[in-house]
Chain A
Amino acid sequence: MAEIQSYTMNFGPQHPAAHGVLRLVLEIEGETIHKADPHVGLLHRATEKLAETKPFNQSIGYMDRLDYVSMMCNEHGYVMAIEKLLGVEVPTRAQYIRVMFDEITRILNHLMWLGAHGLDIGAMTMFLYCFREREDLMDCYEAVSGTRMHATYYRPGGVYRDLPETMPKYAESRFRSKKQLDKMNSVREGSMLDFIEDFTARFPACVDEYETLLTDNRIWKQRTVNIAVVSPERAMQLGFTGPMLRGSGVEWDLRKKQPYEVYDLMDFDIPVGVNGDCYDRYLVRVEEMRQSNRIIKQCVDWLRVNPGPVITEDHKITPPHRVEMKDDMESLIHHFKLFTEGYCVPEGEAYAAVEHPKGEFGVYIISDGANKPYRVKIRAPGFAHLSAMSEMVEGHMLADVVAVIGTQDIVFGEVDR
């Protein structure tokens, strides 16, 4: 009888643990992986080419749809690149709002990651717990931009509008009693900043809850400790960034090392892993949520006492005030030109990178002086991480592939673009 050496198995593209449309072709011997060949691109929408056919402002919405669990951070990279080319100054209040929403987004992303990662390797409760807190943050998105996910809130020169004075409230419904309703709405009586401050007060206890479930959990540790160990040298060689790099023990965070907006004024720490395995990356991300919470609190305190403009007054780039348009010719012209043609960006090239929840999200724009970018290149952190998939799963068991997909925090919106 001929002995079977190894065989090839197809994983995905429709698989609940593949976090989207990932197709993996696995070369397996028994249950041990020899080689993994990820086939990506099933969600390729040519975002970069589409952006080349539209005025600069009209592509902000596409950025939300890249990594669709950390929307505003994507926008941030894109508008920063445009601002760099234009040489626009962003008002300080807008910078604080951006930092606050970047960190809200980071928590949103890490909650999604924790819930899905937990679910993948056998911790159902995590998913439910994480989505409970995500809901509050989604409400912040909604309050400030009108949509829960695809906000288009950051604009070149600032943010679309100032923080609202009220929070939307839950409506009466036959599914919940008056008492429940009052309890749910009790934190939504004040302004949005009140709501966020209340969130920052209760969130650390929630993180404690997650940690109670996972950090010392025997099953969790069996599934993550010593799985997919990446040395710091390899991590840099493979182009890892963000928690993937920090999990391997490299202290590198753009918010500290190449600070943008007002991150240099913020007090926070960078968690770093030791062993570079899935468990360390888990610990790094959980600690990042706590640090983000600290940053949000600092931003809330500053924003409370410092009113001011949230978008630049240069109406060649930003729309004029509605009221002024009624009797000011100049404003009317600005409005018309901005919405029919957009603005021309000086010739040149710029690369702007932000510390996205997943790693370094960079946008490289080449402009030839037109009202549309000549070339937009989006550097997605997940793309570099997924390319190391084969190396990370080699020698592990089939079940660990799912743990590695989870630990890489893959979202196909940004990998495939």
Chain B
Amino acid sequence: MTNPYESLATRIDARFGEQVSRVASTCRELTYEVDKDDLIKVATALRNEADFGFEMLVDVCGVDYLSYGSDEWTTNSATGTGFSRGVERPSVILDEADEFDARRFAVVYHLLSIQNNLRLRLRVFTGTSNPPIVKSVVDIWNGANWFEREAFDLYGILFEGHPDLRRILTDYGFIGHPFRKDFPIMGNVEVSYDADEGRVVYKPVTIESRTLVPRVIRDDNRYSADLRDVKKDG
């Protein structure tokens, strides 16, 4: 019995060639990276051609890869000095560079084909531009509308050709894009009611950041690639 995902991968490789590149996955899911200039061409073909038939866009998700793979503890040397949960965080500096790292912001699309019962994930990196920008897929899948607004609101990713790119989840008049990794978890402003002025006032946030559990990355041999394969085949 052939794996439907492998046969889909063969069809995609044959049809798109250089336009897409497959990303290795450990969870039996199919992920492709698409260049941002080819996105519309690839997406239209995936939707319309009978070989693929991805008539539904399940999800659009923004990702900020700024601190990917960084931890708050160096566990190899830490035992000698004792642990402090008070992880020292560098004070937040908003990244206002003219250009971002080319692999910082990504948009991830989850596609579903109802006729073929298949799923596919596409990832598009937004490149170096500030603000990050990709083409909108609203015309291909109308359901993308709110999902793209959400990615814009939370990550500041612009979607070229979107009919109505407004903030959606944050407050009216909110400043910044809260899901970016350089946006602090407790926010920048706090809101209170000022009885003297008779209105709601915004002030810089006064609470301090706490870490209950530091972020650590451990070398775990159980998950190393070669052992994994042995387990699966055996």
Contacts and interface: CB of A to CB of B under 8 A. Distances in A.
Interface of A: 40-41, 44, 46, 48-50, 53-55, 58, 84-85, 87, 236-241, 250, 252, 257-258, 316, 340-342, 344, 346-351, 353, 360, 362, 364, 366, 368-372, 374-375, 377, 379, 383-384, 386-388, 416-417
B168 A239 contact: no
Interface of B: 25-27, 29, 31, 55-59, 61, 63-64, 68-69, 71, 108, 110, 114, 117, 119, 121, 141-147, 150, 167-171, 178-179, 185, 212-213, 215-218, 220, 222-223, 228
A350 B69 CA distance: 17
Contacts of A85: 26-27
B57 A239 contact: yes
A416 B146 CA distance: 12
A78 to B, nearest CB: 15
Nearest to A388: B143
Given A362-B59, A370-B216, A41 B169 contact: yes
Contact of A387 (B69, B143, B169): B143
Given A349-B25, A360-B58, A372 B215 contact: yes
9 contacts: A40-B168, A41-B167, A41-B169, A41-B170, A41-B171, A85-B26, A87-B228, A258-B117, A369-B218
Contact of A362 (B55, B68, B110, B213): B110
Given A344-B216, A371-B213, A40 B169 contact: yes
A341 B141 contact: no
A48 B117 CA distance: 28
A371 B216 contact: yes
Given A366-B63, A370-B217, A239 B143 contact: yes
B110 A348 contact: no
A46 B183 CA distance: 12
A252 B110 contact: no
B69 A368 contact: yes
Contacts of B26: 85, 87, 346, 348
Contact of B110 (A87, A240, A379): A379
Nearest to B57: A239
B218 A236 contact: no
Interface centre among B119, B121, B215 (most CB of A within 10 A): B215
B213 A257 contact: no
A351 B55 CA distance: 18
Nearest to B210: A53
Contacts of A370: 71, 215-217
Contact of B61 (A241, A377, A417): A377
Given A46-B178, A236-B114, A369-B223, 18 more contacts: A41-B168, A41-B169, A49-B179, A55-B213, A239-B144, A257-B117, A340-B213, A341-B216, A360-B58, A362-B58, A362-B110, A364-B59, A368-B217, A379-B61, A383-B150, A384-B147, A386-B146, A387-B143
Contact of B29 (A41, A340, A351): A351
Contact of B59 (A340, A369, A379, A387): A379
Contacts of A258: 117
Contacts of A344: 216-218, 220
Interface centre among B110, B117, B228 (most CB of A within 10 A): B110
A417 B153 CA distance: 14
B215 A237 contact: no
A237 B142 contact: yes
A19 B201 CA distance: 29
The 9 closest A-B pairs by CB, nearest first: A239-B143, A346-B223, A387-B146, A41-B169, A377-B61, A379-B59, A350-B27, A44-B169, A238-B143
Interface centre among B25, B71, B169 (most CB of A within 10 A): B169
Given A257-B117, A258-B117, A368-B217, A239 B58 contact: yes
B169 A348 contact: no
Contacts of A372: 213, 215
Contacts of B57: 239
Contact of A350 (B29, B61, B145, B179): B29
B143 A237 contact: yes
Contacts of B59: 351, 362, 364, 377, 379
Contacts of A364: 59, 61, 108, 110
B119 A236 contact: no
B229 to A, nearest CB: 12
A65 B26 CA distance: 30
Contacts of B121: 349, 351
Contacts of A53: 185
Contact of A50 (B68, B185, B217): B185
B204 to A, nearest CB: 19
Contacts of B169: 40-41, 44, 416-417
A317 to B, nearest CB: 11
B27 A84 contact: yes
Given A341-B213, A342-B213, A364-B59, A351 B143 contact: no
Contacts of B142: 237-238
Contacts of B141: 237, 239
Contacts of A40: 168-169
Contacts of B147: 239, 383-384
Contacts of A369: 69, 217-218, 220, 223
A155 to B, nearest CB: 17
A135 B25 CA distance: 44
Given A238-B143, A368-B69, A346 B178 contact: no
A49 B185 contact: yes
B25 A44 contact: no
Contacts of A238: 142-143
A55 B218 CA distance: 13
Nearest to A342: B213
Contacts of A351: 29, 59, 110, 119, 121
B145 A375 contact: no
